Amino acid sequence: MIKILEINSKIFRKDNLDLVYFITEKKTLNGILHYKFKSENSDEIFLSEFAIRDRYMSETESKNYKQSKLVSRLFTNLIKNGYKIGK
């Protein structure tokens, strides 16, 4: 589980560990901690700590996960759903 993240720490999407995001800012809005983060290819996004816990994992969690799983979870989900290349 993700603990409180610091500025410039890395997080990864759970469904595709190839996407790396960097925390750029933290704010408390209505009593809930929110993080602003961005990747090299995206605009900045604001999400609550609950959404981050649900959809993302920290750098240490991803290292442990990558050691046990070599294929990205997104590709695995595509295969399970019957993804086929070509006709």
pLDDT in tens, 33-72: 999 999 888 889 899 999 988 888 887 776 666 555 555 6
Residue pair 2/10 in contact by the 8 Å Cβ criterion: no
pLDDT recorded at residue 36 = 93
Residue pair 66/10 in contact by the 8 Å Cβ criterion: no
Residue pair 35/23 in contact by the 8 Å Cβ criterion: yes
**Mean pLDDT calculated for residue range 61-85:** 65
pLDDT at 25 over 90: yes
**Which amino acid, residue 48?**
S
Residue pair 59/11 in contact by the 8 Å Cβ criterion: yes
Task: Kindly indicate the confidence band of residue 1, based on its pLDDT and cuts at 50, 70 and 90.
Answer: very low
Prediction pTM value: 0.64
- Which strand (E) or helix (H) includes residue 10? strand 10-13
